[in-house]
Structure 1
Amino acid sequence: MKIGELAAATGTSVRLLRYYEEQGLMVSSRLESGHRRYADDAPAAVLRIRALLDAGLPTRVIRDLLPCVLRDGTVAACRLETLQAHLRGLDDRISALSETRTSLAGLISATEAHALA
């Protein structure tokens, strides 16, 4: 299928599909005219990529995971540690943001109290 057909089938922009290819997440062949041609299973591949992106995984991690992604979209157990490490990283960032929020809320409260005094 051509890139425009793949874009329409997946609701993904042509520009984004090109980006996926640049990042090594997808491959295409070229027609004599130079147009990209994707395999029949490309729509499923795009949906898997989008699901992994929605899970917050960067493209460099997705590129490493894709060979282990099963047809149902889950990742083979051999890559479980990678997913767990990413989850720990997210938990650490959430904790740091929570602390930052608490500090900012305290600063706002102190500023409001000072303004009312």
Structure 2
Amino acid sequence: LGRAGFLEEARDFIKKMPINPNAIIWGSLLSSCRLHGNVWIGIEAAESRLVLEPGCTTTHLQLANLYASVGWWDEAARVRMLMKDKKLKTDPGYSWIEIRNEVCRFRADDNSNSK
């Protein structure tokens, strides 16, 4: 529902689930909110996920990116500062590429591989 843009329906579905939604479910809704630019449901999803995983770096990043995607730069900066204050660190993302039948792993800021 969320990826298709039915964010209110997705939120209502989650709230009516017969089991308590986990952090992954709230994170999926938060991701969909960023995709479709819905800040208010995104905030609700982030808050719900942070209740379950208070130190989740991913949730903080998703929320900051949601704010930035709609031009709420002060809010995005506030979340980033909160991450810094809580000493939450981001793990670098890795990419893989195959060159001449050899799989190479690298980061965006990695310049150690000459290939």
Q: Normalized per residue, which structure has more strand?
A: 2
With the length of structure 1 as denominator, give the TM-score of the two structures.
Answer: 0.26
The structure carrying a bigger helix percent of its residues is: 1
